[in-house]
Amino acid sequence: MSQEMTRAESIEEQERARESDKKPKSRRPANTAFRQQRLKAWQPILTPKSVLPLFFIVGVIFAPIGGVLLWASSLVQEISIDYSNCAAQAPTSGQLPVPHYSATFKSSKSISPPTWRRSVNESDSDAITCTLFFEVPNELPAPVFMYYRLTNFYQNHRRYVQSLDLNQLKGDAVPYGTVKGGACDPLAVNSTAQKVYYPCGLIANSFFNDTIGKPQIRDPNSSEKQFYEMTDKGIAWDSDKELIKQTKYNMGDVLPPPNWLWAKDENGAYKEDPNLHENEAFMVWMRTAGLPSFSKLSRRNDTHGMPAATYSIDIVDRFNVTKYDGTKSILISTRTVLGGKNPFMGIAYVVVGGICVVLGALFTVAHLVRPRGACATEDPSAGFLHELGRLKSDEAKYASSQARQAPIEIETWFHIISSKSESTQVTDDMINSQLSILQQSYADSGISYRLQGVTRHTNDKWASNADDVAMKTALRKGSYRTLNVYFQTNLQTSPGQAGRALGHRGAVTNNDLASSVLGFCTLPDPTVNASSPASHYVKDGCNVLAKTMPGGSLDLYNRGGTAIHEIGHWNGLLHTFQGESCSADNPGDYINDTPQQSTPTDGCPARKDSCPDSPGQDAVHDFMDYSSDVCYESFTPGQGERMRSMWISMREGK
């Protein structure tokens, strides 16, 4: 007993061991780029520099293509004659002009309007024969095509398009029970005769049944009838010929569709096989048109041109178009390598091309006359870039030094310069709010600003920055380490600065100026030292559009972010997109913790990655990008360290 229990326990332990050795099943997808959604993606960054040329490129490409299409369409010669009301309006003797027709020929010779006449059909007393008379003033080169054209006939109706039996058309003898209730309803079977319609469905039942004869040459000097030979073979697509095959039905077991005028026996059945697999006119009809007005090929002549002459065509008029307010016409036409006459595509291309060129011109003018606000800070000098490189290598060594960690307080002056018409634009509350935001934005970097004073001045020239040197010579306070910020109501770049603008920040609407900027500032100058005279750095400081102060009138840019951005330049920071390139050779802003970025940010996108092959996404929330104020959040630790290094190296003690 004891041995049996021990053995049983041993077996159970072995089973548990085997189960523990089995790898647990996991539903985690394979660790691949595709399964883990890490595939590389490319997102275009839309800027004026990239979008404006696209308008002109599309216009330059589309307009000539449209011109070529229109030219090709104009080479097509054709005549179209509407005979919808021939049975009611045409005379039984003599001829009267056809009310509706159109003609386009190469010849400049004027032609007489087409005429018509009607008569009772000899073989079908219920039908009317409509005879059309028309002129062809010059020979039409081969190939020449004859079409019938219908209007207001909706072959594209969903129920109509589906109303056929493909197996029937392929030749299968589809039984009564299968056809009944199928796609062909309500014209699938004759329940009285208990027979199938062949071919069944609405498409086949509405088959165009006017009989259009060959064009007859009307030669008064000849007693013999002469015809311009046109065949009804070769008018169907090869794919349609492959679709419709010889039927396996016994003709006594099926009925023709109700509207068909095929020869019938006393029971209403076919007298003979309709041979639909050879009837190309039927194949053409079964290929439904996508629009309610369409043309279908009826006859063609691919070898001989149509001589200049007067012609007549006899048409047995059976197809009733008046009951659905449609029209029917015959169309004789040539073609070009681009097809028949159809100016729509050419007009569409020309219109699209023209619209693109006009929009491109308008946007270009708008961009030049009233551009988006620019940060017009000058490009960094070679000496400044050299100093950046040196500081970048030294920061890692001295980051923990006591001098680098000590708080920095910068003496600051605000100068409010207004035009006479906007002397009350900047309020004390706006000034206080700007200072508060300035302190908050730089607090994490260990930098604070002690406002020494605020000056107010009304001067139209200074408000628009028409004389920057004179303004700063008169107003600048303190030494090189003193920050002077000039809030101007109508700030614009001077002629020398406009060419050195690095880009645009936001959309500016300034009705008083031809061009405006949000701000610009001076970078630290390596050539300035403690003994440099004030005249050497008189232009030092930041110029800021007053409308960008908190509570200003500039939508999206009225939370004080522009001053934070420009003062970042004064502290030695470059744009996060400096160099505007994803190349490994582009040092960017010389700061390690700002991802590489090739384009400025417009607005506040949720995600932007202008350099997808480089680590990290664009720093759209960084003060040194061009994002809108609501998007701004902070400087990176690396930027904070750089500003402190710049202060110690290039401003402290000067």
- Give the residue numbers marked as catalytic: 566
**What is the distance between the alpha carbons of residues 249 and 320, in angstroms, rounded to a whole number?**
30
Phi, psi of 330 (to 5 degrees): -105, 150
**What is the distance between the alpha carbons of residues 32 and 394, in angstroms, rounded to a whole number?**
41
Q: Is 208 in contact with 150 (CB distance < 8 Å)?
A: yes
Q: Which two tokens stand for residue 426?
A: 């900047």
H/E stretch holding 459: none
Closest CA to 636 of 574, 569, 591: 591
**What is the distance between the alpha carbons of residues 188 and 163, in angstroms, rounded to a whole number?**
9
Residue position matching structure tokens 């009944």: 180
**What is the distance between the alpha carbons of residues 527 and 525, in angstroms, rounded to a whole number?**
5
- Other Cβ atoms less than 10 A from the Cβ of 164: the count is 21
**One-letter amino acid identity for 604?**
C
**One-letter amino acid identity for 140?**
L
Closest CA to 546 of 501, 512, 496: 512
Q: Is 388 helix (H, G, I), strand (E, B) or coil?
A: helix
H/E stretch holding 357: helix 343-369
3-state SS track over 17-44: HHHHHCCCCCCCCCCCCCCCCCCCCCCC
> What does DSSP say about strands 195-197 and 254-255: parallel, antiparallel, or unpaired?
parallel
Which residues on adjacent β-strands are paired with residue 117?
Answer: 131
Which residues on adjacent β-strands are paired with residue 134?
Answer: 311
Q: Is 264 helix (H, G, I), strand (E, B) or coil?
A: strand
**What is the distance between the alpha carbons of residues 644 and 650, in angstroms, rounded to a whole number?**
10
DSSP 136-147: E-SPBPSPEEEE
**H-type helices in 75-106, by residue range?**
86-89
**What is the distance between the alpha carbons of residues 422 and 554, in angstroms, rounded to a whole number?**
14
**One-letter amino acid identity for 31?**
N
Asked if the peptide bond before residue 595 counts as cis, ω within 30 degrees of 0, the response is no
Angle at 170 between CA 166 and CA 175, to 5 degrees: 70
Strands across the sheet with 542-545, in order?
Answer: 447-458, 408-418, 483-488, 542-545, 519-521
Closest CA to 98 of 306, 327, 334, 294: 327
Q: Report the length, in residues, of the chain.
A: 654
Q: Is 202 helix (H, G, I), strand (E, B) or coil?
A: helix
Residue position matching structure tokens 């400044």: 384
